[in-house]
Amino acid sequence: MIAPESQLRNLGRHPSALLLGAQLVVVLLYPFLDSSTAGRAVVGVVQMVVVLIAAWAVRATPALSWVAVVLGLPAMVFAVLEPVTRDHDGVVLASAAFHVPFYLFVSYAMIRYLFHDDVVTRDELYAVGAAFTVVAWAFAYVYAAAQVLWPGSYVGSGTPAGGDVSWFELLFLSFTTLTSVGLSDIYPVLDHARSLIMVEQVAGVLYVALVIARLVSLSHLRRGK
């Protein structure tokens, strides 16, 4: 049996795995906790932990760690303020202003980490998934900001007339758009919202074309040596 200390050391050597796991945990917990103020506050704290792990994961990459910290600290604060203020428009916009560049920078750091050498490590494999999910989270915040700037940008099967789509529904839309599975019952109805969807669709295709193709080519090169 592996000792707990050894397990912790292994986790410490794979920050990308922790980031990927933390994001998936939030996705699974959100439906259980979103119905109450206390539950939303818990989600905010968990999201704050995700931001902290993301900033820590950047330390293992060739990117600048201080940029992640500068963007991540305000993002952590707004991760808690959003549920407490019940998604006040000003707070949502301010939160998106920090979360979007933070998550995009983390994704850039992960991708740069994948491309910085010709050896594919286990943590780099976890970074493939972490970078992908981080982009999905970034666009969810983009959509949340768009909904404030252009009310009625998105509609869903369960959205009341004139009401806003929830953040979790926007995250669902972001994941279905980035993966191009087309399973979402949430869809854009205004041109500004549609243009953002198109940008994420291109990002999803380019991710598969560039990142996955590179990993496959490196695997073939390694077998050929």
Q: What is the DSSP string of 6-48?
A: HHHHHHHT-HHHHHHHHHHHHHHHHHHHTTSHHHHHHHHHHHH
167/173 Cα distance (integer angstroms): 10
Q: Is 1 helix (H, G, I), strand (E, B) or coil?
A: coil
- The segments of the chain whose pLDDT lies below 50 read 1-4, 7-8
Name the average pLDDT for the chain. 83
Long-range contacts from 156-159, C-beta under 8 angstroms, 24+ separation? 156/185, 156/186, 156/187, 157/185, 158/185, 159/186
Q: What is the pLDDT of residues 172-224, one digit of tens each?
A: 999 999 998 877 789 899 999 999 999 999 999 998 888 877 777 776 665 55
**91 class by beta-carbon count within 10 Å (0-12 exposed, 13-18 middle, 19+ buried):** middle
How far is the CA of 145 from the CAs of 88, 124, 139, in angstroms? 11, 31, 10
AA identity, residue 203: A
Q: By the 8 A CB rule, do 66 and 120 touch?
A: no
Question: pLDDT value at position 219?
Answer: 67
C-alpha torsion sign, points 108, 113, 115, 116: positive
106/101 Cα distance (integer angstroms): 8
Q: What is the pTM of this model?
A: 0.87
Q: Is 187 helix (H, G, I), strand (E, B) or coil?
A: strand
Question: pLDDT value at position 47?
Answer: 78
- Taking the domains of the chain in order of start, what are their residue ranges? 4-224
Closest CA to 105 of 77, 138, 56: 138
Question: pLDDT value at position 149?
Answer: 95
